[in-house]
Amino acid sequence: MNDATDFIDQLAERTDARGWVGAPTLWELVERRAEATPDAVLAHEDTGRELTFAGYRDACLRAAAGLHADFGVTRDTSVSWELPTWNESLVLVGALARLGARQNPLIPIYRGREVGFITEQSGASLLIVPTVYRGFDFEAMALEIAAEHHGLRVLVVDRELPQGDPSELPEVEAPPATAAEAPIRWLFYTSGTTADPKGAPHSDLTVMASALAMAECLDIRADDVSALVFPFTHIGGIGWLLASLFTGCTLLTTESFDPVATPAFLADNHVTLAGSGTPFHLAYLAAQRAAGDEPLFPQVRSYPGGGAPKPPQLHHDLKEEIGGVGIVSGYGLTEAPIVVMASTTDPDDKLADTEGRPTPGVELIVVGLDGRRAGPGVEGEIRLKGPQVIRGYLDPSLDADAFDEDGYFRTGDLGIVDQDGYVTITGRLKDVIIRHGENISAKEIEDLLYTHPAVADVAVIGLPDPKTGERACAVVAVKEGHSFAFDVMVAYLKGKELRLQAIPEQLVVIESVPRNPAGKILKHTLRQRFASTTSTEGDP
């Protein structure tokens, strides 16, 4: 739908200007970075294990050879994989890039319902999972899915990828001549506003455009040490790998974020970029306050942010109590990552109150509810074009609603662009709840709850939460003679294989769910009514 800007020449110019490494494909970028700084550290796990850039390249080649020989992975093979943030996950990305496969990273919160749908729709021939992670049996789930999907094989990886002889690898695919000709190499899924996840196809170049924009705005340097403490399989995780390959910076990784252990790990390893969103920033602030006057991150330069709303005061608190320039946040979607981002040189009020300005090559417009373009300071829907925007969904039937008649991607988010070009997100047209930076479909939860025999009517709404950005609240009207409790709801949704991330943290039982004469639920009324309530039920 949206013709990508020819990004290749621009990529070379922008990376050369900063002394970074650039390339038109991910694999070529891996090779160039390994040649430029072979002994520099790409990734340092909280286990103490490290990967240098040369070691990363070599590990990718061995794993690529093993995947090719043992599982027949080759150019355009579709591979779905759901792994924690391990060094092996980073290596898998490079190995699949070397083979020219189409890779589909899945966030580890996804369970059988989502993974089954995604592997079927994407045509995956290989599903890669751990045995057990955080108490969940991924191997059993994968084998059950594979039994129902002809041609789908399962590879169980517990910190050990298949190994082979790199000399037996097929030839490297030639790079594209233009960005428009770049093949689809990535398939990311987003819950969006529909019950089924939506597949967003990306090329190496669309993801690179996002990563390069982020690296420029954050002024990333080769001696920077960045916290990659959210799930690597998120499109933002892949973006940070690319940013490291562009710039030569080091990534500090952890399998699972811990509000006490992780800040200590980052402190011990001299973090300079302490990302990457409100829940993490709150944990850093709490750790600093527990440490007293001793600086927690004495080398910190900024706090990259995004994915969830940030309280403006949090920017000021981090800057004052820990140091650095404060939160440097960005805005984007799985379909269009990092289309807006702040810069380390922006003034304090812009860093605190906005998401920054459109990144290079992005054309962002605001369209009012009347369909006309809105001027500065006027709220409307954010629509955009740019080198990181998908051309269309894997399911083309979704494209008509996703793009307007002029080819702009409709984000469904409401926002304002001020006189200086800074963007503030004010709300959403789409009925999505963003918890810990992950999209949760209200409709998906509602559709499942409606099937419970005690539920007469239900609305799932997002309510402000200081720790997660938003929490999901299920507002339920119960059938006469029945009862419905929080524990019952949680058990029921788990039984339906809904991922834990999407299970509401709060349940409110009311006499009737308010609707307008046309039958539409008045969710704004519910949000106003319950905005000041707190989740007293605990985590599901």
CA 208, CA 12: separation in Å to the nearest integer?
12
CA 93, CA 322: separation in Å to the nearest integer?
34
Q: Are residues 254 and 126 in the same domain?
A: no
Contact by Cβ (8 Å): 187, 200: yes
416: phi > 0 → left, psi -120 to 50 → alpha, else beta; which? beta
Sequence-ordered strand ranges (E) for 466-527: 469-478, 506-510
Output the pTM of the full model.
0.83
**Could you tell me the CATH number of the domain that includes residue 351?**
3.40.50.12780
CA 396, CA 377: separation in Å to the nearest integer?
34
Contact by Cβ (8 Å): 233, 82: yes
| Residue-level pLDDT, tens digit, the chain, 540 residues | 444 557 888 888 888 888 999 999 999 999 999 999 999 999 999 999 999 999 999 999 999 999 999 999 999 999 999 999 999 999 999 999 999 999 999 999 899 999 999 999 999 999 999 999 999 999 999 999 999 999 999 999 999 999 999 999 999 999 999 888 999 999 999 864 456 889 999 999 999 999 999 999 999 999 999 999 999 999 999 999 999 999 999 999 999 999 999 999 999 999 999 998 888 898 899 999 999 989 999 999 999 998 766 778 889 999 999 999 999 999 999 999 999 999 999 999 999 999 999 999 999 999 987 889 999 999 899 999 999 999 999 999 999 999 999 999 999 888 899 999 999 887 667 667 888 888 787 878 987 998 899 998 888 999 988 888 889 999 999 988 999 999 999 999 999 999 998 999 999 999 988 875 445 578 878 988 998 876 655 455
CA 300, CA 408: separation in Å to the nearest integer?
38
Q: Which domain holds residue 211?
A: 1-24+182-364+387-403
Q: Are residues 396 and 442 in the same domain?
A: no
Q: Are residues 155 and 257 in the same domain?
A: no
**Could you tell me the CATH number of the domain that includes residue 76?**
3.40.50.980
Q: Are residues 118 and 239 in the same domain?
A: no
Q: Decide if 84 is inside a domain.
A: yes
Name the domain count of the chain: 3
Contact by Cβ (8 Å): 222, 247: yes
**Could you tell me the CATH number of the domain that includes residue 522?**
3.30.300.30
User: What pLDDT does 3 receive?
Assistant: 47
Q: Are residues 346 and 243 in the same domain?
A: yes
